[in-house]
Structures are given as structure tokens and as C-alpha cells.
Amino acid sequence: MMRPAAFLDRDGVLNVDHGYAHRPEQLDWVAGAPEAVRLLNEAGYYVIVVTNQSGVARGYYDEGAILRFHAYMQERLGEHGARIDAFYYCPHHPRGSVKEFAVDCACRKPLPGLLAQAVGDWPVDLSRSFMIGDRDSDIAAAAAFNIPGIKFDANTQSLPALVRQEIAARDR
């Protein structure tokens, strides 16, 4: 069944961006993030994380660390009655030090490859979908995929309030 999706960047939207978070003890939720995810779940949205993780290409951590971090996020969200339907990440960076990941790719935002991959895997109603990100590259990826991109600043905005606003705008 087709459902809208909320595509969320990870670092700076769901968790505080302390730089290259990849260990469970580094998880520091943005204020209200679990509530915002739960609101999206309750409204019938797929919640799909799309995140650049160049720390892999830079040799700071491996893909297993990302998978463990995402599993931990999911576990913690469950304590709030919330869940993420899918995580998509780009491990590449053209100037990385790990050869296999030091490439130009179609999945690194601002390119829309992660969004396209998610839509290929999930029955998404793009006409009611949107992306929330804290960087211009997130908004550019959304624009390249022809969905609204909403810039979020955790220092000045409430994520639950923004999510409520975006859900209401699409329910009209």
C-alpha cells in the first residue's frame, strides 16, 4: 500500500551532530526526536533515514559500526513507542582514505541516490512525502528528487512542532 514517507537526515536532525557518531554511547537525541518519529509513525508515514557517513571512507569506522549504531537508535526509539522503517547511508567520499569507498557516487547527498534507493524498496507516495535535513546538501537532494526539503535547525526549532506542521500541510 502506497504511503507517504518522511525522509530524515540523521546527524543534526535525529541525533546531535558531535561529528562522526558511530558508537552507542555517542547517541545524544536532538530534543524531541523520538516524539517526532512517533508522530510520523502514528500519522502513517514511512520514516526513512538517509545519511552521509563519510567516516567509513575516511577510515574512522567501518560499516558494521554504522549498522550497530542504527540498531541501537532503533532500540532506544522503541522505548518511546517509535520506529524507523529503514536506514540508508552513503559510506563514500571522493577524498576518503579507504580505497573502496574513496569514490564519486550517486548516493552521496546532495545527489538523490539514497532517496531513489528507498523509493525502489518501499511503496512511497511521493506526492505527500518530504525530507527534513540540517544541511543544504539535504535540501538539494530533496529538490533533485522533486520532493519538498525542509531545513531544520535544532538550536532554534522544535522537531515535533515541525513534524506536526508538515503532516498537517499534507493532510489538507
User: Is 9 part of the annotated catalytic residue set?
Assistant: yes
Q: Does 92 belong to an annotated binding site?
A: yes
- Do the annotations mark residue 9 as ligand-binding? yes
Measured CA distances, 101 to 52, 87, 97, 116 (Å): 12, 19, 8, 20
Residue 104 annotated as binding site: no
* Annotated binding-site residue? 107: yes
Q: Does the annotation flag 28 for ligand binding? A: no
85 is in an annotated binding site: no
For the four alpha carbons of 118, 25, 157 and 151, in that order, the dihedral sign comes to: negative
80 annotated as a binding-site residue: no
Query: Which residues, in sequence order, are bridge partners of residue 50?
Result: 88
Query: Of residues 9, 28, 121, 136, which has the active-site annotation?
Result: 9
Of 137, 161, 164, the C-alpha closest to 151 is 137
Instruction: Tell me the residue ranges of DSSP E strands in 2-159.
Output: 5-8, 46-52, 86-90, 130-133, 149-151
- As annotated, the binding site for Mg(2+) includes 9, 11, 134
- As annotated, the binding site includes 9, 11, 90, 92, 105, 107, 134
Active centre residues (catalytic) = 9, 11
